[in-house]
Amino acid sequence: MRNQYGTKEKSRVHTSSKGEKGIVQQQRVKGVRTRGKKNDNVEVDALEKTCISGTSAQTPQQVVSRYKKILWHFSKGGTMSAAFKHVGVDWNTVSVDAPIAELYIAAPDKFKELLKNHSSQVKLSAFATQCAAAVNEESAIEDRIKALKASEDK
C-alpha cells in the first residue's frame, strides 16, 4: 500500500466482532528511517545518508572526516552554515566534537597518543573533553589552532 507521499506501508487488517474489516495500524516498511515528529509519515531513503553525512559519528576518525568535509565545503566559497547543511549536521554537533578534529589537525602526535587510550566503550563526548583538555594544556597547540582558523577566514 502506498501512502500520500508515494512510499510503501504495511497495514494490518482487523476484523471486528460484527465481521467488519478495518485498518487498525499502519507500520512503516522495515529498514526505513523517519524524520520529524513521532507520527510523521515523511520517510527518508535509507541510502540517502551515510555514517559521515547526517548520522551520528561513532568513532573519532569519523568526526575528523566529517570536520574535514565541512572545511572543504566552506573553502569552496560558501558559508559555514551552508557547509553544515550540505554535510547534514547542525552547528552544535560540530562545536561539541570540534576539539577532536582540531587536535588531529594541529597536533597529530598528541592525537594518536590520546587515541591509543580510547576505547569504543567510552562516549565520543568524553573523548572530545580529553582532546579539549590536551589543547588547553599546551599553549603551542592552542596558538596553532588559532593561526589555522585565522588563515581560513581570509
In this prediction, residue 29 carries a pLDDT of 44
In this prediction, residue 119 carries a pLDDT of 86
Q: How far apart are CA 124 and CA 101, in angstroms?
A: 12
Q: Are 64 and 125 in contact (CB under 8 A)?
A: no
Q: What is the mean pLDDT of residues 108-122?
A: 90
pTM of the shown model: 0.61
In this prediction, residue 42 carries a pLDDT of 38
Task: Tell me how crowded residue 92 is: count the other CB atoms within 10 A of its CB.
Answer: 9
Q: Give the DSSP H or E segment for 28.
A: strand 21-28
Q: How far apart are CA 9 and CA 27, in angstroms?
A: 6
Helix 124-137 × helix 108-117 angle, to 10°: 140
Q: What is the pLDDT of residues 3-45, one digit of tens each?
A: 666 655 555 555 556 666 555 444 444 444 555 555 444 343 3
Extents of the domains making up the chain = 9-44, 60-153
Q: Are 66 and 57 in contact (CB under 8 A)?
A: yes
